[in-house]
């Protein structure tokens, strides 16, 4: 039986640049850096982001951008603060998809390796309740 999500690993062409994104935008705390050692397939760093283990490893960037993404929960009152953090690092933002009222709001941005991140203000419970009310609500 699956107990929980263990970790998320992202491959990056520039470990330091990705570390800046994880720390400065996602509030990640670095808990490990391999330095020049390679216990896995390449140099790596581990972070804790919102209680979740995020691993970043050196390697080739994704060849294309897609809508596959990782979403992190933020408070609605913090949207402008996070937008400023993203803009400060010069990261490309993606337009949010069309939403129905009550579904929450999102900021989407790409890192330099074509990973898409979402900072989302809603919860699963709020979204399901909104969808239960139907399109006319």
For the chain, what percentages of helix, strand and coil (3-state, to nearest 5) are there? Answer: 25, 30, 45
- H-type alpha helices, the chain: 15-24, 79-88, 124-133
- To the query of whether residue 101 is one of the catalytic residues in this protein, the response is no
Annotated active-site residue in 16, 44, 95, 118: 44
Question: Whole-angstrom Cα distance, residue 14 to residue 100?
Answer: 37
- Catalytic machinery residues: 44
């Amino acid at each position: 039986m699956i107990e929980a999500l263990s970790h998320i690993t992202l491959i990056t062409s520039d470990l330091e640049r990705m570390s800046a994104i994880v720390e400065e935008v996602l509030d990640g705390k670095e808990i490990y850096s391999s330095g020049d050692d390679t216990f896995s397939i390449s140099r790596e760093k581990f972070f804790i982001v919102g209680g979740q283990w995020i691993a970043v490893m050196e390697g080739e960037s994704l060849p294309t951008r897609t809508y596959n993404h990782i979403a992190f929960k933020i408070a609605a009152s913090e949207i402008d603060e996070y937008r400023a953090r993203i803009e400060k690092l010069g990261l490309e933002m993606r337009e949010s998809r069309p939403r129905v009222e009550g579904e929450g709001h999102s900021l989407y941005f790409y890192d330099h390796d074509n990973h898409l991140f979402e900072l989302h203000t809603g919860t699963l419970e709020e979204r399901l309740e909104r969808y239960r009310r139907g399109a006319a609500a």
